[in-house]
Structure 1
Amino acid sequence: MKLLEPGAELDGFTVEECIHSGGMAHIYRVRYTEGAINPGFQLVMKVPRMTAGDGAENIVSFEVEYQIMQVLTGSHVPRFVAAGDLENVPYLVMEYVHGQTLEHWLEAPERPDVGTIARLGAATALAVHSLHQQNTVHLDLKPANVLIRPDGSAVLLDFGLSCNAHYPDLLAEQLRKAVGSPAWIAPEQVVGVRGDPRSDIFAIGVILYQLTTGELPFGAPQTAGGMRQRLWMDPPPPRKLQPNLPEWLQEVILRCLEPEADKRYPSAAHLAFDLRHPEQITVTERGRNTTGTGFGTHFKRWLKAAGMHYQPSPLPAQKIEEVPIIMVAIPHKDVLDSTLYSLRQAVARSLGTRPGARLACVTVISPGQTSASSDEKSETSVHRRYLANLYQWAKPLDMPGHQTSYHVLEANDVAQALVNYAAGNHVSLIVMGAATHGLKTQRFVATVPIKVAMDAPCTIILVKQALPFEALVEEAAKMKPVWNRDLDAPF
């Protein structure tokens, strides 16, 4: 199909200009023809290429994107407006989103700093997590398909290679080959496994590697054999190419790029959490390595990959529900041993049924407690004291296989601070102590637990104090030397 000319009309839309001409489609700025209702946002029309030399995947991809765009919601995808059928002129009309794709940072004269890379990566991961919650996996993430709005949030583009767990996978049914962009495709995609949400995490790892080093971790292979190498090969460590790169960022990137999906981040929310809280990352040999993976390790992986039987992809929403981020709100004023004990027991039960879940221990202090400090060192010491309390509380949990982080927040409104933290970090479950006031009091005074329960963006467990008498002495002995009950704070 030839390019549409400016001024051409199609099904009530007027073409303004062609803003992109790619290998699979042309994209035009369009508007409603005069007389139609203004939708309140600008529009683009995507028309697939259908010349004699174009592959069948162009039409299949159009059908896939048409199918998926109609069911996706939220701020991380363009709003769907209309579509044309294949018998006449196939097209998709959607919202035109203002911003810059990640290619902008890759093509800039200077490489972005670590803080910018972390923000871009976290924004991308949060957008991907939103997609996975809707049982959709993108499967073609690359810099050109991630757009960053002026406010810093990410919008995902081009769902022609995507997979939705509730719809037939047309690409898998009709093409029978690895589908994706060779530089960013995940190992399991190479062998035909589609729909695993951790494939998108691998692609984010490739993007982060590009942003930090300016190079692609696996090059741009054009053959199936070249792509298969990532089933057992690790790329050169980013710090080998950029020695000044912090160890924590290499830890994040190489975890995303693990050949086996089970060894990557269990969800995009976990990845975003690390990128937004780098001080909480535990750096292993993976983050410290500057020489690369040895031949012996690669050879063992090659043998394993040769005989590996890949499992069907998990349902994305179900997969991320199995590895939630759990937040526990720890009070520090007038707190009883029974409360601390009961919270720990509730958290242990929640983590015990969810292998791979992450625990965020949070306490909220009044800004007055740090502003009263005369210098920066004393302010830091206040935070360290509260962090020590959180470490001490969590120490008896001893839950291997679960990441734990510790956070001291400053706010006058304790309930709102907890709600904001849960929403901003995609927390799936909040555990906190129930109000100790009687029901009559709660009718007139909205306690912190009640406020959180009313506004929480996720499930909340309110824990009643329950401490066996024989455990009271033991718990008190553990907590009293460290827990400071004299600190003046609201929660």
Structure 2
Amino acid sequence: MKRLDTGTEMDGFRVGDCIHSGGMADIYRVHYANGAPDPGFPMVMKVPKMTAGDGAENLIGFEVEHRLLQVLTGPMVPRFVAAGDLARLPYLVMEYVEGQTLERWIPELGSDQPLASVEDIARLGAATARALHGLHQQDACHLDLKPANVMIRPNGQAVLLDFGLSWHAHYPDLLAEEFRKAVGSPAWIAPEQIVGVRGDPRSDIFALGVMLYQLATGRLPFGAPRTQGGLRQRMWADPRPPRALRPELPKWLQEVILRCLEPEADQRYPSAAHLAFDLSHPQQVQITELGERLRGAGFLEHARRWLRAAGKHYQPSPLPTRRISEVPIVMVAVPHTDVSDETLFTLRQAVGRSLGARPGARLACVTVVSPGDISTTDSEHSEVRVHQRLQEMLRRWAQPLDVAAHQVSFHVLEDVDVARALLRYAEHNQVSLIVMGAATHGLQLQRFLATVPIRVAMDAPCSIILVKAQRPYLLGTDPEG
């Protein structure tokens, strides 16, 4: 199919300049031709390449993207406008996303472009992880994530592009039905995809780990393999640790990157929300051997992994939404002034029950302090000292909990409006469950501040458990003894 001429009119659209020509499609700017007002955002038309030399995956990818763009919603995907007749001229009209792809921050080999800063890596990675989480919440996986397919808007929000190789739990997987080989971009494809397992959201986490590695080092962790044998090596091989290539990188960032790149999906982040959390709160990342590592695994370890991978039978993943629900981020709002022991005890009991039913969940302990309680002249009430005291209070509160199977972090928020601070934190960090007292912020002012839990309950972006304080002897023995 030849390229469309500028000015061509088709189904009420006027075709503009071709702004991108890729291996699978051409993309043109378009406007309505009949004088109808545009939908409030710029539009592009994506036309798949369908010449004799193009593969069948181009047409199948068009059908997949057509289907998914109609059902996916949210700021992480372009808005769908229209589609053309497959028998006459297949095309997709969608929102043109303003911004730059992640390729902008990855230097080309031999160029003088500096590597991305740690702050940029964390910011870009967290934005992409949040976009992935929004996609996974709709029971879809991208499965072709790479720098060219992630657009960063001017406001810092990430948008995912090109869903031609994607998967959705509620629709037939046309690519799996048509092809028996690995489907995806070789440099970023996850180990389980190589053996034909599609639909695991942790495959997207692996691909994001590859991109984080690129941002941090300017290199691909596994090169750009062109053979099946080259692809399979990532099922047991380690990439060179980022800090061996760039010593100034912090240990926490290497910890995050290498955890994303674990060959076994169960060893990666359990959800993109957990990954976004660590990238947004680097001071809370728990450093293990991964962060300390300066060299890859030795020969014997690689041999052991090779033997295990050779005999491994990969199982289909649970639905993305089910996996997210099994490993939520749980936030508990812990008051720090004028609060009874009964309230603190009951909160701890409720959190313990919530974590016990969800192995692998992350617990975020949060308290809110008013900026008016912080002094710029009194060292004992300085911001640093106040935050230190409140973090220590949160640690003491959480100490009796059994958190061996969970990651726990402690956060002090500053805001005069407690409800607003809690809601912002929950939304920004993809919290799945909030636990808080039914009326916990100030016993003497309860009739004024009882609106805090009510406001949070009304506007929370997730489930919420409101706990009514009870005396310990009514509930059992206090874990603190």
**TM norm. shorter chain > 0.5:** yes
Q: CA deviation at 1:448?
A: 1.4
Q: Work out whether 1:281 is the aligned partner of 2:285.
A: yes
- Checking the alignment, whether the CA contact within 8 Å between 2:343 and 2:440 is kept in structure 1 is no
Picking from 110, 114, 117, the partner of 1:113 is: 117
Q: What is the alpha-carbon distance in structure 1 between the residues aligned to residue 379 and residue 449 of structure 2?
A: 37
Q: CA deviation at 1:451?
A: 1.6
In structure 2, the partner of 1:85 is 85
Q: What is the alpha-carbon distance in structure 2 between the residues aligned to residue 436 and residue 288 of structure 1?
A: 42
Q: What is the alpha-carbon distance in structure 2 between the residues aligned to residue 19 and residue 63 of structure 1?
A: 22
Write the mapping of 1:84-103 to structure 2, written as runs, cut at 5 A: 84-103=84-103
Alignment CA distance shift 1:445-1:253 (3 Å): closer
Listed one character per residue, the Cα deviations across residues 142-161 of structure 1 (whole Å, up to 9, x for unaligned) are 00000000000000000000
Q: Identity, % of aligned pairs?
A: 69
In structure 2, the partner of 1:251 is 255
Q: What is the alpha-carbon distance in structure 2 between the residues aligned to residue 376 and residue 9 of structure 1?
A: 71
Listed one character per residue, the Cα deviations across residues 149-208 of structure 1 (whole Å, up to 9, x for unaligned) are 000000000000000000000000011210000000000000000010000000000000
Alignment CA distance shift 1:82-1:470 (3 Å): closer
Q: Which amino acid aligns with 1:100?
A: Q
In structure 1, the partner of 2:428 is 424
- Checking the alignment, whether the CA contact within 8 Å between 1:205 and 1:254 is kept in structure 2 is yes
Picking from 224, 228, 231, the partner of 1:224 is: 228
Q: CA deviation at 1:405?
A: 0.3
Q: What is the alpha-carbon distance in structure 2 between the residues aligned to residue 50 and residue 461 of structure 1?
A: 54
Q: What is the alpha-carbon distance in structure 2 between the residues aligned to residue 18 and residue 424 of structure 1?
A: 37
In structure 1, the partner of 2:393 is 389
Q: What is the alpha-carbon distance in structure 2 between the residues aligned to residue 464 and residue 126 of structure 1?
A: 33
Q: CA deviation at 1:369?
A: 1.6
Write the mapping of 1:27-176 to structure 2, written as runs, cut at 5 A: 27-107=27-107, 109-176=113-180
Listed one character per residue, the Cα deviations across residues 4-48 of structure 1 (whole Å, up to 9, x for unaligned) are 011111111111100011111111111110333421111100001
Q: Which amino acid aligns with 1:80?
A: F
Structure 2 SS opposite 1:81: strand
Alignment CA distance shift 1:436-1:364 (3 Å): closer
- Checking the alignment, whether the CA contact within 8 Å between 1:373 and 1:379 is kept in structure 2 is no
Gapped runs of 5+ residues in structure 2?
Answer: none
Structure 2 SS opposite 1:70: helix
Structure 2 SS opposite 1:172: helix
Q: CA deviation at 1:442?
A: 8.3
Q: What is the alpha-carbon distance in structure 1 between the residues aligned to residue 107 and residue 80 of structure 2?
A: 30
Structure 2 SS opposite 1:397: coil
- Checking the alignment, whether the CA contact within 8 Å between 2:472 and 2:478 is kept in structure 1 is no
Q: What is the alpha-carbon distance in structure 2 between the residues aligned to residue 340 and residue 156 of structure 1?
A: 42
In structure 2, the partner of 1:335 is 339
Listed one character per residue, the Cα deviations across residues 371-410 of structure 1 (whole Å, up to 9, x for unaligned) are 3544599421111111000000111102211000000011
In structure 2, the partner of 1:482 is none
Alignment CA distance shift 1:249-1:377 (3 Å): farther
For structure 1, which segment, 160-169 or 109-118, has the greater mean C-alpha deviation from structure 2 after superposition? 109-118
Q: What is the alpha-carbon distance in structure 2 between the residues aligned to residue 257 and residue 80 of structure 1?
A: 33
Q: CA deviation at 1:98?
A: 0.4
In structure 1, the partner of 2:312 is 308
Q: Which amino acid aligns with 2:255?
A: E
In structure 2, the partner of 1:487 is none
- Checking the alignment, whether the CA contact within 8 Å between 1:359 and 1:402 is kept in structure 2 is yes
Listed one character per residue, the Cα deviations across residues 412-461 of structure 1 (whole Å, up to 9, x for unaligned) are 00111111111111101000111269xxx989875211121111111110
Q: How many residues align?
A: 474
Q: Work out whether 1:16 is the aligned partner of 2:44.
A: no
Q: What is the alpha-carbon distance in structure 2 between the residues aligned to residue 376 and residue 57 of structure 1?
A: 65
Q: Work out whether 1:468 is the aligned partner of 2:472.
A: yes
Q: Which amino acid aligns with 2:133?
A: H
- Checking the alignment, whether the CA contact within 8 Å between 2:352 and 2:402 is kept in structure 1 is no
TM-score (norm 1): 0.93
Structure 2 SS opposite 1:311: coil
Q: What is the alpha-carbon distance in structure 2 between the residues aligned to residue 472 and residue 257 of structure 1?
A: 44
In structure 2, the partner of 1:366 is 370
In structure 2, the partner of 1:196 is 200
Q: What is the alpha-carbon distance in structure 1 between the residues aligned to residue 380 and residue 450 of structure 2?
A: 35
Alignment CA distance shift 1:340-1:373 (3 Å): farther
User: Which portions of structure 1, spanning 4 or more consecutive aligned residues, are displaced by more than 4 angstroms?
Assistant: 441-446, 470-475
Write the mapping of 1:208-219 to structure 2, written as runs, cut at 5 A: 208-219=212-223
Q: What is the alpha-carbon distance in structure 2 between the residues aligned to residue 216 and residue 442 of structure 1?
A: 56
Q: CA deviation at 1:234?
A: 1.0
Q: CA deviation at 1:471?
A: 8.7
Alignment CA distance shift 1:384-1:442 (3 Å): closer
Listed one character per residue, the Cα deviations across residues 118-139 of structure 1 (whole Å, up to 9, x for unaligned) are 0000000000000000111000
Aligned-residue CA RMSD (Å)? 1.9
Q: What is the alpha-carbon distance in structure 1 between the residues aligned to residue 2 and residue 45 of structure 2?
A: 15
In structure 2, the partner of 1:486 is none
In structure 2, the partner of 1:481 is none
Q: Which amino acid aligns with 1:102?
A: L
Q: What is the alpha-carbon distance in structure 2 between the residues aligned to residue 472 and residue 263 of structure 1?
A: 36
Structure 2 SS opposite 1:46: strand
Q: Which amino acid aligns with 1:464?
A: K
In structure 2, the partner of 1:267 is 271
Structure 1 SS opposite 2:106: helix
Picking from 200, 205, 211, the partner of 1:207 is: 211
Gapped runs of 5+ residues in structure 1?
Answer: 479-491
Q: Which amino acid aligns with 1:358?
A: R
- Checking the alignment, whether the CA contact within 8 Å between 1:338 and 1:472 is kept in structure 2 is no
Alignment CA distance shift 1:398-1:373 (3 Å): farther
Q: Which amino acid aligns with 2:180?
A: R
- Checking the alignment, whether the CA contact within 8 Å between 2:361 and 2:407 is kept in structure 1 is yes
Q: Work out whether 1:180 is the aligned partner of 2:184.
A: yes
Q: What is the alpha-carbon distance in structure 1 between the residues aligned to residue 471 and residue 446 of structure 2?
A: 24
Q: What is the alpha-carbon distance in structure 1 between the residues aligned to residue 332 and residue 448 of structure 2?
A: 26
Alignment CA distance shift 1:68-1:334 (3 Å): same
Structure 1 SS opposite 2:98: coil
Q: Which amino acid aligns with 1:402?
A: H
Listed one character per residue, the Cα deviations across residues 56-101 of structure 1 (whole Å, up to 9, x for unaligned) are 1010100100111100101111000000121000000000010000
For structure 1, which segment, 75-84 or 104-113, has the greater mean C-alpha deviation from structure 2 after superposition? 104-113
- Checking the alignment, whether the CA contact within 8 Å between 2:376 and 2:382 is kept in structure 1 is no
Q: CA deviation at 1:321?
A: 1.1
Alignment CA distance shift 1:376-1:7 (3 Å): farther
Q: CA deviation at 1:473?
A: 9.7
